[in-house]
Structure 1
């Protein structure tokens, strides 16, 4: 992945002006969503493919609120935006530029996606050149890189993690792809816990550690369809990623599911080790930091050191545990309830 968009800042700034005029002329629909400290105004053309993606945001439509940042969502051919793209370098190489003033990200796969945020103006756009080619993960977590661009002035760090809450206590679930974050989070949801995230969320460090809901989506592996049968009743499609079938779920369709944010009191990392029953064991914070940072930095490039440092500061003092759910997920929520209530687990003698 290239580390810069050469000589692109001026062209992207001009492109932003172009997008604003284009959206003004198209009569784009305006909506505002509240994400803790961020009130994000979205403009998208009514009837377009990308307009359908907005409803996957969690239940936090902030109609009537004054946005603190604006994002224009555009799709289809656009010669001006084409002129902002880096020279072809072959393959599927992503290109990123992150400075105090600008954030730019180009991904040529699946038709091409360009994200640009003017961090000082607090304005940006997301352009999908061929929206009909969107992969399933893009529809499940739309405009994610724009939140990355907006992060420096919101205090909200996009983080690859799951989170759930029981009452006032929340748990952050760390782990790389395939570790079992989604399965564990949704098992808790089926047991009556509040849903925050299964894949990506916004993390606020101050004044207290808080996981902020972004999306109401979940993506379930085929081997979890039966154990998570109730959640799968809210599935609206099947997708295939690198040969792996997944159920695409809209938790807004799950009547008993409460979606919201959570104050984080502990962090767990799923680690199956063949335990006969669900078991917790204290885990070094450095190991948890590696789990949280690895995929976050890989999927959301740019500002690497600042992002790593922010994650590290965020989890200081937070108790961390490895969690073996045992032979089934059924006992996992009860085994984690004490952590959500603030009970610390000591190492076994």
Structure 2
């Protein structure tokens, strides 16, 4: 069942209001991360996954838990460790009392799955999420089991403490719509965080949306029209990141090993549609593409040794392309 809208205009208005209410509720728990919360909401309304990167203590896990509570979605947290096995994520078949194999679902069977410190488990276990993230299904014992919808993987990763970590394969990274960096709060924001978390009070969060409404908004976002020149701008932007191609700049050829694939173009357009909709616009423009470009492209571009030696960052290269 989905929630019908009387028109696309009514749907855009409803999405704009729902996103504002959700951000207000999440703001009761998460202080000073408005842009981060907005990016997570855009990914959810685009049916995409998020990778949250930041130093310890920036409330990455709390953010995901709060989003699940406010959106009234089922939630499971998986702590990724070096000894985690694929079956610990997907589930496994067991032999019951009647000597029949029965599938016991793993924690991946939830609307929101928090993959906490995803880079602390070996690639074999990381790969257990590949089918779930792309196909929204899990195959065990030759049988495909569909995941409940909507389904999102919100993963966290620390940029430090490289000992005991395993870099995410490019195929896994490419399945995340956004790679979102969390930075330290300002002095005033940190004062508010400390004040809130050291007092004997419990925040009462209101549920803003449910699964059916989120699915309806996802369908609405896909129906948002986009002009040819905006679509072509998004495709050109992704193409410009590919060294050795006719659109590549001198910086791209000098500093990148490879660039973003076609999935980046898709997410640039889809993200721009949603960014426009939550701002109350009925069609995206180039500014909406630029607004989502950094989290879409950041993890799809690989620097070469020359860029690392000269201290050229991915963000600097993307900003020049914009």
TM-score, normalization by structure 2? 0.27
TM-score, normalization by structure 1? 0.25
Structure with the bigger percentage of helix = 2
Structure scoring higher RCO (CA < 8 A, sep ≥ 6) equals 2
Structure with the bigger percentage of strand = 1
